[in-house]
Amino acid sequence: MGKTSKQAFNIFFGNSNYNVNENTAKFIEKLFGINWGNRIWDGNINAPQIAVDDELKQILLKCINIESISFDPVDRMKHSIGKSSIEILNSRLSILPGIVDAVVYPDQDEVYNLVKTLKKENIHITVYGGGTSVTGGLISKYTGKGRTVSIDTSKLKKIELRDGIVFCGAGFTGKELEEILNTKGKTMGNFPESFNYSTVGGWIATKESGQESNQYGDIEDMVSYIELVRTDGLFSDRYSPRSSSGISVKDVAMGSEGKCGIIMNAGIKVYNLPERRHYYSYFFKSFKDGIKSLMQMEKFPTVLRLSDETETEFLFLSQNNSMATDIFSKYLSLRQVNRGSLLILINNNARFKKPSNSVYSGRTIARIWENTRYERPYFGNVLWEHGLVPDTLETSVSWENIIKLYDEAILSFNNSIRELNIAGIIMSHISHFYIDGCAIYFTFIIKTDKTDDLIKIRKNMVNVFLHNGGSITHHHGLGKFFEEFAGDNSVFMKMLRDDIFDK
Amino acid sequence: MGKTSKQAFNIFFGNSNYNVNENTAKFIEKLFGINWGNRIWDGNINAPQIAVDDELKQILLKCINIESISFDPVDRMKHSIGKSSIEILNSRLSILPGIVDAVVYPDQDEVYNLVKTLKKENIHITVYGGGTSVTGGLISKYTGKGRTVSIDTSKLKKIELRDGIVFCGAGFTGKELEEILNTKGKTMGNFPESFNYSTVGGWIATKESGQESNQYGDIEDMVSYIELVRTDGLFSDRYSPRSSSGISVKDVAMGSEGKCGIIMNAGIKVYNLPERRHYYSYFFKSFKDGIKSLMQMEKFPTVLRLSDETETEFLFLSQNNSMATDIFSKYLSLRQVNRGSLLILINNNARFKKPSNSVYSGRTIARIWENTRYERPYFGNVLWEHGLVPDTLETSVSWENIIKLYDEAILSFNNSIRELNIAGIIMSHISHFYIDGCAIYFTFIIKTDKTDDLIKIRKNMVNVFLHNGGSITHHHGLGKFFEEFAGDNSVFMKMLRDDIFDK
């Protein structure tokens, strides 16, 4: 076994200098008692001296080209550390998880042979799509206890567009796939915040949902066909628009979290690009007034995002033109809603009527939101650089329970930071709508150097979700952090597991 | 063991005298060379002398009240013979399948204890919902090879209506559940042809889809929550509008076909009753012209049913007022579509625009269709009584392949009856629409006394479906007859099976 030299891995995506305006910077400085000029971390993690396992190399060479095998320590770190706040905080604290022993980049023809060989050699597998997991999905339970190889799906990029459906490799990112479809006048309608990085395979494995789910559905509504490679074979649904032919490969692959095989190809429904998008913004007096208005709807527009008072204030903070902001604030005051709760509404191809009890506030805010919809994580990078810890948690809950869950989640956060004696702020929006409820998304920022503080806040909040009839997660998936909450589901996960895939 | 006396079981649902008009009767008489006055069978099957298994009775009494156990031979036959044409033809020919050894009607509190006891005693289980399976779903592989008990879900009728969701027992029929919801101004939007008899549990186990699926979705879109009782425990999803918490109980129960446990309760999304339904009918010059028009649509109305030329002619046959029919036919001739291909279109709450290349033909036909939407099987009863064999097969297929599949399926049927030297007629409609394709439904009538003839025709047609990229079935489920086609899915079914449930 050879040794490799020390290198650095940068954990940030898109770490170009994201611009935070002065108002926001001042607000954060004051809240957390920090100096904005003082960046304490650049996102780099020094790679430890990790060995190249020559025996493993020989095994891998039996089933994959040498160009498709990597023992590079930075590459191995990249494939072992996701984007969860727990992992990023640990990285900043130089607490490293187990690192995979190799990374392989198989093409479609190599996948099955590869997993069969790894099974024969009793080598564990983790699967890597876009690396955007915020739930510890990349963490391996086996690194350090026998060999683990990360299978990177980025070479799985076959594509075939037919009427109403695109068959494509699991390795396509949202951006790559959508760009190809757009040139043909089509869209898949899937726009998660991770759109630029996350992949088809990752969406399916985690049961994701995009920002336009009200129109295009969640990932299970979008996908008609899945090919799953397991150590016992290649399994595929017979493609059709819909089928009642028993438990399908799709049923098994959806939410399988990399434990039941590798998602290799999928068939995703495609739609004509909207001819026109209609943009609206509205204000409600309060977040709860907004919720009460929206819960009356039976049909929802393409995009509908209601921010609570804190998130709304953050938007005002980010405006540079203070005169325009003042005038706008006066307008809202005169109409009795003040700067209460902002609603962004976008609808494809048709106008959408004004929600009850709302005050119209123009198209611009909705357009700005759309233009910056994938940038929030870059703001997160800046916060990390300043020694802060940004994080998000989300759940879905019935209309009956939404307000109580919101109140208790906010209370839980505030109680937690008081008990831990740390500074913090929490804000929220609701953004995916169903006849029986909605998804609610919490963003919080704390200042701590203890991962345990973060874990405590998270667990307390998830317990509030569950206590109030919420789901563990609406669209982030379980990963390793939420497995303990999975309960009954985990029984079926175990039955369906492919045993060399990471538990 | 005691012996019971001979009794008759009637296999028909709704066998009140369904009225077939003179034109239709004459057409059928001529086509099949039969005499309409001559009814050869009343749907009765004589129950064989079947024993009461006293030892089994003692076992059942350990976990269920005596009033909830039946050894009645008619009841046992009812729970062992479904509504597939293969089973009905066999019944007319006095070829009986294995009959279950007992029927039990547990309430919710008895189910788990019951299945645990049956497991301990190695007694097999079949699950009975509404008894409407047309795929051999009730056929047990174990009767005659050890004991089999049928668990009837009709006492599972807990109900609780909340905002946007109803939690209800698996034993509710469509009619029962919808009537309760309607009194509250709500609807579940699920209207399969079997609506009057089929149950919540059966819909889930077979992955059904109702006639208004374009608006309300297929059963997987309607259900948010499932409780599944297995011999290893009671499993339930944590209810929420949507979740990304791994492979769910819902994923496993959908399409589980009674092999993975008993579906005990479900949460089904509910909607406000439509304020108004808009009715339309249109004619196309040909079925293919109609298909080409509809495949351009991106949004589909609540109900959309396009009949081929033969099915359209059958509608004209069923009209009693020949003068009105003549005038109507002239109207269609003048507009160049003749009596080609009929489209029924119903949309809730909003008007729907005229499909391209169609000729409007009033609201009445759509209203008649709606009023008689559950009656086709009663017409089937009359055909059975006259010695004929009506049957249906359905599939879903991409827009690219729909016309070729249709042509080849019709050809296959006609080739089959020619080879078998029997009379027959086949007709078709498309009725469930997706961005990437549709479901197509074939109805055929043959005259034969050989079950093998029927099986041959069916297999040939399903092979045509598969050969042309169709699914095995769109909404009837696999049952016992289509299992052989299930392929990859069956691997996962096996992993998830609960081993005393009928394979």
B377 with B14: CB under 8 angstroms?
yes
pTM equals 0.96
The residue of chain B nearest to residue A497, with distances taken between CA atoms, is B495
CB-CB under 8 Å, B397 with A489? no
Distance from CA of A244 to the nearest CA of B (A): 5
**Residue tagged 């106008």 (tokens):** A351
Pairing of strands B262-269, A102-104: unpaired
The span from the CA of B360 to the CA of A92, in Å, is 69
CATH class of B277-373: alpha beta
C-alpha triplet A24, A25, A31: angle, nearest 5°? 90
3-state DSSP of A361-425: CCCHHHHHHHHCCCCHHHHHHHHHHCCCEEEEEEEEEECCCHHHHHHHHHHHHHHHHHHHCCCEE
Give the A window 473-502 contacts with B, CB below 8 Å.
473-478, 482, 485-493, 495-496
Question: Could you count the other beta carbons within 10 Å of the beta carbon of residue A353?
Answer: 10
pLDDT at B56: 97
Of B244, B438, B478, the CB nearest to A473: B244
φ/ψ (deg, to 5) at A86? -60, -45
For domain A2-152, give the fold. Answer: 3.30.43
Chain-centre distance of CA A85, in angstroms? 12
- Interface residue B260 vs chain A (CB under 8 A): yes
φ/ψ (deg, to 5) at B146? 90, 170
CATH class of B159-273+492-496: alpha beta
φ/ψ (deg, to 5) at A88? -70, -45
Pairing of strands B124-128, B148-152: parallel
CB-CB under 8 Å, A251 with B477? no
Within chain B, all domains assigned CATH 3.30.43.10 are found at 10-152
pLDDT at A16: 66
Of A269, A470, A486, the CB nearest to B246: A486
CB contacts < 8 Å between A and B, how many?
264
Mutate to test the interface with A, among B436, B462, B467, B478 (most CBs of A within 10 A): B436
Of B163, B434, B478, the CB nearest to A242: B434
φ/ψ (deg, to 5) at A325? -60, -40
Number of alpha carbons in the 13 Å side-chain half-sphere of residue B400 = 12
Number of alpha carbons in the 13 Å side-chain half-sphere of residue A434 = 29
pLDDT at B489: 67
Within chain B, all domains assigned CATH 3.30.70 are found at 277-373
CA distances (Å), B257 to each of A321, B110, B119, B252, B466, in order? 62, 21, 19, 10, 21
Q: Is the CATH number of domain B10-152 3.40.50.720?
A: no
In this structure, what DSSP letter does residue B475 have?
Answer: S
Task: Say what the ipTM of the complex is.
Answer: 0.94
Closest of A311, A345, A315 to residue A328, by C-alpha: A315
pLDDT at B14: 78
CB-CB under 8 Å, B247 with A164? no
Within chain A, all domains assigned CATH 3.30.465.10 are found at 159-273
> In sequence order, what are the beta bridge partners of B279?
B346
Digits of tens for pLDDT over chain B (503 positions)?
Answer: 444 446 899 999 876 678 899 999 999 999 999 999 999 999 999 988 888 999 999 999 999 999 999 999 999 999 999 999 999 999 999 999 999 999 999 999 999 999 999 999 999 999 999 999 999 999 998 888 889 999 999 999 999 999 999 999 999 999 999 999 999 999 999 999 999 999 999 999 999 999 999 999 999 999 999 999 999 999 998 999 999 999 999 999 999 999 999 999 999 999 999 999 999 999 999 999 999 999 999 899 999 999 999 999 999 998 888 888 889 999 999 999 999 999 999 999 999 999 999 999 999 999 999 999 999 899 999 999 999 999 999 999 999 999 999 999 999 999 999 999 999 999 999 999 999 999 999 999 999 999 999 999 999 999 999 999 999 999 999 999 998 888 766 788 889 998 888 76
pLDDT at B144: 80
The span from the CA of B429 to the CA of B406, in Å, is 10
Q: What DSSP letter does each residue of A132-187 carry, written as one string?
A: --SSSTT--S-TTSS-EEEEE-TT---EEEETTEEEEETT-BHHHHHHHHHHTTEE
CATH class of A159-273: alpha beta
3-state DSSP of A240-277: CCCCCCCCCHHHHHCCCCCCCCEEEEEEEECEECCCCE
Burial class (CB in 10 A: 0-12, 13-18, 19+), B33: exposed
The residue of chain B nearest to residue A489, with distances taken between CA atoms, is B248
Closest of A136, A132, A47, A56 to residue A94, by C-alpha: A47
What residue type is assigned to position A91 of the chain? Answer: S
Nearest 10 degrees: Cα torsion A79, A85, A86, A90: 70
pLDDT at B3: 46
pLDDT at A500: 86
Pairing of strands A124-128, A148-152: parallel
The residue of chain B nearest to residue A475, with distances taken between CA atoms, is B244
Regions of chain A with pLDDT less than 50: 1-5
Of A245, A269, A436, the CB nearest to B269: A436
